[in-house]
A = this chain, B = another copy of it.
Amino acid sequence: MTDQASSDIRPDTAGARHSGNRYGRSEQARRAVLTAVDDLLVEVGFAALTIEGIATRAGVAKQTIYRWWPSKVDILLDALGDDLAEHLTPAEHGDLEQDLSAHLAAVAEFLTESDAGAMLRALTGVALHDTAIAERLRTEHLARQRERDRLPLRRAVSRGELPAQLDLDSAVDQLLGPIYYRVLVTGQPVPRAFTEDLVREFLARHRD
């Protein structure tokens, strides 16, 4: 889990030697806060997540939180870190069906099972209440993820498995949309059969 939002402020993440002086913020405090947010989100839910609660749990002063994160949401955006890249970077098996099957199953599992998925769901909830946050969520996390989501298709096009004129954006929406819809809206589970089905129908349509 690395920092994206505020890496500019903290030039030397590497060394991480300092704690409470002019030469950089306390890496220890930073980690404690992100961990606390992670835990509390799972334990009490977003609605009951307070800055004071985070500070207490992290064993950190409220002021330290406000010094580095402008708001509760910034902590979440920070805490999400590189989780998306880590969990949702599609592997390459040299075969579109395998690639897609694995990736869609990974997305489904990430969203429904993992703590990081819970974080993303919570952030999506906030984004639905505040367009500014929606914008940040997209530029800081979702845009890159969308790029990753396109990857299996792009590679298949390179291999000649898919036609070159395929609309990748549209294809991604058709493949991932139903999964997100189930998770975010209807609350239905997303079993392996569901994602396999999506892949099968997609391939039937586009592979010739």
The interface of chain A, by Cβ under 8 A from chain B, is: 45-47, 121-122, 124-131, 134-135, 138, 142, 146, 170, 173-174, 176-182, 184-187, 194, 197-198, 201, 204-205
Decide: A185 near B142, CB < 8 A? Known: A174-B201, A178-B173: yes
Give, as a whole number of angstroms, the nearest-CB distance from A142 to chain B.
7
Q: Are A128 and B45 in contact (CB under 8 A)?
A: no
Q: Are A128 and B128 in contact (CB under 8 A)?
A: yes
Closest 10 CB pairs of A and B: A125-B128, A177-B178, A177-B181, A177-B177, A46-B129, A173-B178, A125-B125, A180-B181, A47-B129, A125-B129
Which of B138, B184, B198, B204 contacts A174, CB < 8 Å? B198
Contacts of A131 in B (CB 8 A): 45
Q: Are A180 and B184 in contact (CB under 8 A)?
A: yes
Contacts of A130 in B (CB 8 A): 45-47
Contacts of A184 in B (CB 8 A): 124, 128, 180, 184-185
Interface centre among A126, A130, A180 (most CB of B within 10 A): A180
Which of B47, B178, B187 contacts A178, CB < 8 Å? B178
Interface centre among A142, A181, A184, A185 (most CB of B within 10 A): A185
Q: Are A170 and B197 in contact (CB under 8 A)?
A: yes
Q: Are B134 and A128 in contact (CB under 8 A)?
A: no
- A46-B128, A134-B187, A135-B187 are known contacts; what are 16 more A-B pairs with Cβ within 8 Å? A47-B130, A122-B129, A124-B184, A125-B126, A125-B127, A126-B129, A138-B186, A138-B187, A173-B182, A173-B186, A176-B181, A178-B178, A180-B180, A180-B185, A181-B181, A184-B185
- 16 residue pairs bridging A and B, Cβ less than 8 Å apart: A47-B130, A124-B125, A124-B184, A142-B185, A142-B186, A170-B194, A173-B182, A176-B181, A177-B181, A177-B182, A178-B178, A178-B181, A180-B184, A180-B185, A184-B184, A205-B205
